[in-house]
Amino acid sequence: MWKRKVSIKEQYGSLKHFLKGDEDCHYIGQRYIEGTNIFARREWRGVKDTSYAFYRWLVTWVKMGGLVARDPVRIVKAFFRYRWLSAYLIAPAMIDRWIEGDRGMALRCDLAAADCMISDSVDTLWASLRADRKLGETEWTDKTVAFDYTLPKHLIFGFPGTYAINMQQHAAFMLPLIRKELGSYYVDQAVSCGIPGDMCTLPLVETGVAVVGEYPDIGNFWMTTNNPCDANMMDNNAMYRELSANGKKAVHPLTTPLMYDDPTTKELGVHELYEAIEFMEQQFGRPFDWEAFREHLRATNQVNREELERWDIYARTDNGCLNAVLQGLFRIYFYQQGGTKYFAKTSPKLLKMFYECVEKDIKPFPKTRHRALAWSCGSTYYIQGVSWLYNCWGILCVINMDSLTGHNIIDTEDEEIMMEDLADWYSHTPMRTHTVGGNRHILQMFETAEKFNCDTIIMYDDIGCKGMAGAQGLLEEEFNKYRDRFHIIWMPHSLMDPRIVPPAEARRAVNQYMTDVLHEEPLDPTLVDFDDSMGW
C-alpha cells in the first residue's frame, strides 16, 4: 500500500515549480509502494518531461505488442514454455527504474539509448523464437545459430542471411535486470543438481536455464568460448547437453588467450578466429564473405569512435547526459551486437545531445557532489543502484569497468592487421578485461579514475567471485596508497541472487561511509533507508 510521505506543497513550494517539475529534493522514495521499489504512480517531472517520458513508455509497449503481432500463436506458446520470457512483460517498468530522477537532456538521452536496446532486443527475441524447433521448425531454424552470450557475434556478419543469438543474454543474464528475484529460481535449479551454490551466481543462472530445458533449440551448431573466466566454464556440461542436443549438433570453442596483451599470444588469438571461420564455412556450406564482414566492422568502428568522443566529454566536463545505468548497459549491449542498424542510428543522436550540452553548458546531473568510477563486476539484480547513488548521495558514476571493453578501432584494409585487431576485440570482453591477464589490469582503476577526473571509486564486491576475492588483500594494500586521492567504498552484492546480499545491505555500506567518514547529509532522505524486499 502507498501513502504520500511529503506533501505536494512541501515538495514543490509553488505551482510554477510543480509545472516545471522543479523540486529541491526529488523525494523518489515516497513514490514507492511499501516493501518495494515499484512506483505507485509515474514520476512527475513537470508537464514537458512527463509527457515525453509517457510518450516513450507508450512506444515501448507498441514495440512489445509488435513482437506478439508477428506470430501470436507462436509467441503465446513461447510464453507458456519459457518462464524467463514472462519477465519481459514488465520491460516498461524496468526502464522507469533506470531513469529515476532524470530531467531534461538526461531524460531524452537515456530514453533514446533505452529505445535502441528495446528495439534490438525485440528483433533478437523474435529471431530466436521464430527459429525455435521446440515451437515448430521453420525456414529460419537452420539459418539461426547459438553463440555463448560472452562471445560477440561479429563473425556471423560474414555470412549474410544468417543470424547468431547470444543464447544466455536474454534467457539468463538480463533476468535480474528486469525482475530481481527471477534469477534466483534458476540458481536453485542448478544447485539442485549438485553444483556448489557458493560460487558466482551468473553461471549458476545460465546452468539453471539449461537444467530445466529453457533455451530455444536453434541451428545446427553451437559456438562456445572460454570468456570471461574459469567460473563461467563450470557450466560446460549442462550447457553442452542443452545447446548441442546431447551431442547431435557440432560444437566449436572459440578460445581467447588470458594473457591477451602478451605479444606471444596474439598469433594464437588470430589462429582461433580463422579456425572459427573455417568451422562455420563447413557448417553453412559456403565461403565467408569478407567484404560483408568488413562493412559490419566499419559500422562498428563508427559507433566506437562516437563512444570514444562521449568518453572524452565525460572525462573533461560535467556535460555528459547518459546516466550511469544507461551508459553501462548501452555500451555492453553494443559490444555484443556490433554496429547494427539500431546502434548506427542511435549513437550519433546521443553524441549530438552530448555536444549540445557542451555548447550550452548544460549540466544534466546538477546535484553531483562526487564523480565516481565503478570498478569490478556490478550487481545485475541491482543495476539501478548507481541511480540510487546519485539520487540519494550525489555520487555520479561517470564510467564503469565493464564499459571499458572492445573499443579499439579495427583496420579494415589490411587483412592481417584486421584479424590481429579483431583478436584483441574478442579478448576484451566485459568482466574479463580487467580481472585476468595480470594484476596490472585490476589496478588500472587508479589510472582510469584519474583520466575521468573522479574523486571516488565504488568497488563492487561480488562475494561469489573467487578470483576477485583472492585479490582482495592486494587491493586493500593498494587502496592505502591512494586514500588521500580517492574515497574508496566497497559495495557488496552477489551479482544475480538478491537473497544472498539484498540491495538494502549494499545501500547500508554506502550510507555508513557517507555519514561516518565523510559526514555528509543525503540529498534525498527518503532513499537512505527503505524496504524493497518485496520489490521486483
> Which has more pLDDT, 193 or 414?
414
Q: Which secondary-structure segment (H or E) carries 462?
A: strand 456-462
Binned at pLDDT 50, 70 and 90, residue 232 comes out as low
Residue 288 has pLDDT above 80, yes or no: yes
Confidence bin at 244 (pLDDT 50/70/90): confident
Looking at per-residue confidence, does 465 or 221 come out higher?
Answer: 221
Contact residues for 357 (Cβ-Cβ < 8 A; gap 6+): 105, 313, 319, 320, 321, 363, 364
- Average the pLDDT over each of 5-19, 386-400, 504-518, 519-533 and give the range with the smallest value: 5-19
Per the prediction, the chain carries an average pLDDT of 89
The DSSP bridge partners found for residue 165 are: 146
Amino acid at site 235: D
Indicate the pLDDT class of residue 233, thresholds 50, 70 and 90: low
> pLDDT tens for residues 416-452?
999 999 988 888 877 777 777 666 777 888 999 999 9
> Cβ distance 335 to 425 under 8 Å?
no
Secondary structure (3-state) at 536: coil
Decide: helix, strand or coil at residue 20. Answer: helix
Judged against a pLDDT cut of 50, whether residue 1 lies above it is answered with no
Q: How far apart are CA 259 and CA 39, in angstroms?
A: 46
What does the DSSP assignment read for 112-178?
HHHHHHHHHHHHHHHHHHHT-GGG---TTTTTEEEE-TTS--GGGGGSTT-EEEEHHIIIIITHHHH
From residue 210, give the alpha-carbon distance in Å to each of 26, 81, 238, 499. Answer: 43, 13, 6, 22
Cα–Cα distance for residue pair 102/84, rounded to 1 Å:
29
Helix or strand holding residue 371 (H, E): strand 370-375
List the beta bridge partners of residue 337: none
Nearest to 486 by CA among 373, 323, 366, 319: 373
pTM above 0.85, yes or no: yes
Which residue matches cell numbers 543495476? Answer: 383
Domains of the chain by start residue, with CATH:
367-536 (3.40.50.11900)
Average pLDDT rounded to a whole number, residues 383-391? 94
**Residue with more model confidence, 233 or 429:** 429
Please tell me the chain's helix, strand, coil percentages from 3-state DSSP, rounded to the nearest 5: 55, 10, 35
Radius of gyration of the chain (CA): 23
∠ CA 188-194-196, rounded to 5° = 75
Q: Please tell me the predicted confidence (pLDDT) of residue 143.
A: 94
Output the CA angle 11-15-526, nearest 5 degrees.
10
CA distance 79 to 125: 12
Distance between CA atoms of 373 and 376, rounded to whole angstroms?
Answer: 10
Q: Report the range of poorest mean pLDDT among 2-16, 43-57, 88-102, 504-518.
A: 2-16
Q: The C-alpha cell of 430 is what?
A: 566485459
Bridge partners of 400, per DSSP, are 374
Q: Give 475-521 pLDDT, tens digit per residue.
A: 888 888 888 899 999 999 998 999 999 999 999 999 999 999 999 99
Please classify residue 180 by burial: count the beta carbons closer than 10 Å to its beta carbon, then call 0-12 exposed, 13-18 middle and 19+ buried: buried
Residue with cell 518531461: 49
Q: What local confidence, expressed as pLDDT, does residue 235 receive? A: 58
In three-state secondary structure terms, 259 is coil
Is the distance from CB of 239 to CB of 211 less than 8 angstroms?
Answer: no
- Asked if residues 380 and 183 have their Cβ atoms less than 8 Å apart, the reply is yes
Return the bridge partners of 488, or none. 457
Q: Are 459 and 428 in contact (CB under 8 A)?
A: no
